[in-house]
Amino acid sequence: MKKLLILGAGTAGTMVANRLAHLLDADEWQITIVDQDETHYYQPGLLFIPFGMYSKRDVIKPKRDFIPLGVEFITSAIELIEPEHNRVKLAQEGRYLNYDFLVIATGTHTHPKQTAGLQEHEWYKSIFDFYTIEGAVALAKELRTWRGGRLALNVVENPIKCPVAPLEFIMLADWFFSEQGIRDRVELIYATPLPGAFTKPIASKHLGDILDKKGIKVIPEFLIEHVDPDAKKIVAYDESEIEYDLLVTVPLNMGADVIARSGMGDELNYVAVDKHTFVSPTYPNVFALGDAASLPTSKAGSVAHFAVECFAENFVRYADGLEMLPTFDGHANCFIESGFGKGLLIDFNYDTEPLPGMYPLPGIGPFSLLQESEANHWGKLMFRWMYWNLLLKGQELPLPARMSMAGKWKN
């Protein structure tokens, strides 16, 4: 029996387990997946919780429900990866798991403690995050009774999981406070280390214009040094300051600690792999998929999905002794909720930045790219059903894994 070990049963790990359980011969392969948590979070849904659109119930299910038959699921923290010995040490009883092939899908997590003043006595009083279920729920409670003032949204450092989520948050806040009838008493500020609203120039311009129309102020190139929770202000390395009444933070994102402990990560604990095949340059039987990988594309579920599609077929070739094909192109495809029942869509890859135009999708689409539409909003809401019922289970979706230029406007 050949052993395939998957670390992490989040979006990428669960999808890869499902795809490979389907593609590999069960008589020849033993697939094992390890995760320290029993609960799977529909992470795109966390964004909607602060505004009362989703509740906790809408975004959680047992991980076990999505692990296919025949795949062994172990609940344990991971102590150490020993790639020289082709084995992984679990925290649970110091047990070792040997492998022939290892897929690292341990994701990325927020680290508010890395910024002084953030996770101290004002945490969940006047300072909130929405990247954790605890933060999203606490913020929902706060927003229900908040009387207005200056809401500052701050991204600590890039890269972050889902780089469009802060934009969605601030646009939904604009809509939410309008609905509450207090928009005239709320000032919305988005302070980002980026030079503009988004990472890529054309999208940054389009999104910047939309934020401007909504009366949301973008403060670019703001790299936070510390929070003064008593004076209620954030202070940047260049000594500029922003005062707030309510601070919503996207804390520093880092890969799993076990990556650092095992000496396999970069300065943010992400694993270096080939950007087209996910193979480690050091260990030819080790791969990293999803947010855990250090790749120049977005850390997002859609990227993990396209990556797994490309990887799974390629892995079967590789296990048969063939070369991997450089199939993954960095494809990302993200709905951006913009409030008032509308949304945008962006579609891009390593070489092509998000462009305006139309995204064709037989039967349902087309969806407009980089422009607000109601169809994009419904697309986003429909996606939750697709995620739980199709995507995680590794079913085919009518979305091409590689980016297409069809419908995109170049100039």
User: Which span sits near other proteins by CB under 8 A: 97-105, 192-200, 360-368, 371-379?
Assistant: 192-200
Say whether residue 352 binds other proteins (CB under 8 A): no
Say whether residue 274 binds other proteins (CB under 8 A): no
Nearest to 336 by CA among 305, 304, 379, 296: 379
Nearest to 336 by CA among 377, 307, 302, 278: 377
Residues numbered 58-87 forming contacts with other proteins, rule: CB under 8 A: none
> Closer CB to other proteins, residue 236 or residue 286?
236
User: Which span sits near other proteins by CB under 8 A: 23-31, 40-48, 262-270, 336-344?
Assistant: 262-270
Least distance to other proteins, CB of residue 407, Å: 23
Tallying the residues shown for the chain, one arrives at 411
- Alpha carbon distance 182, 259 (integer Å): 46
Say whether residue 170 binds other proteins (CB under 8 A): no
Burial class (CB in 10 A: 0-12, 13-18, 19+), 401: middle
Contact by Cβ (8 Å): 83, 262: yes
> Closer CB to other proteins, residue 193 or residue 365?
193
> Closer CB to other proteins, residue 174 or residue 291?
291
> Closer CB to other proteins, residue 148 or residue 193?
193
Say whether residue 194 binds other proteins (CB under 8 A): yes
Say whether residue 223 binds other proteins (CB under 8 A): yes
Using CB under 8 A, pick the residue from 266, 341, 364, 406 that binds other proteins: 266
Q: Strand 39-41 and strand 127-129: pairing?
A: unpaired
> Closer CB to other proteins, residue 102 or residue 224?
224
Say whether residue 302 binds other proteins (CB under 8 A): no
Say whether residue 241 binds other proteins (CB under 8 A): no
- Alpha carbon distance 66, 311 (integer Å): 19
User: Which span sits near other proteins by CB under 8 A: 8-16, 46-54, 291-299, 334-342?
Assistant: 291-299
Residues numbered 134-153 forming contacts with other proteins, rule: CB under 8 A: none
Using CB under 8 A, pick the residue from 119, 269, 298, 376 that binds other proteins: 298
> Closer CB to other proteins, residue 24 or residue 256?
256
Residues numbered 196-215 forming contacts with other proteins, rule: CB under 8 A: 199
Least distance to other proteins, CB of residue 1, Å: 38
Say whether residue 253 binds other proteins (CB under 8 A): no
Say whether residue 221 binds other proteins (CB under 8 A): yes
Least distance to other proteins, CB of residue 183, Å: 30
Say whether residue 16 binds other proteins (CB under 8 A): no
Using CB under 8 A, pick the residue from 79, 100, 157, 187 that binds other proteins: 157
> Closer CB to other proteins, residue 237 or residue 409?
237
From residue 92 to residue 121, the character string flagging contacts with other proteins as x (rule: CB under 8 A) and all else as - is ------------------------------
Contacts with other proteins by CB under 8 A lie at: 157-159, 163, 193-194, 199, 221, 223, 225, 237-238, 266-268, 296-298
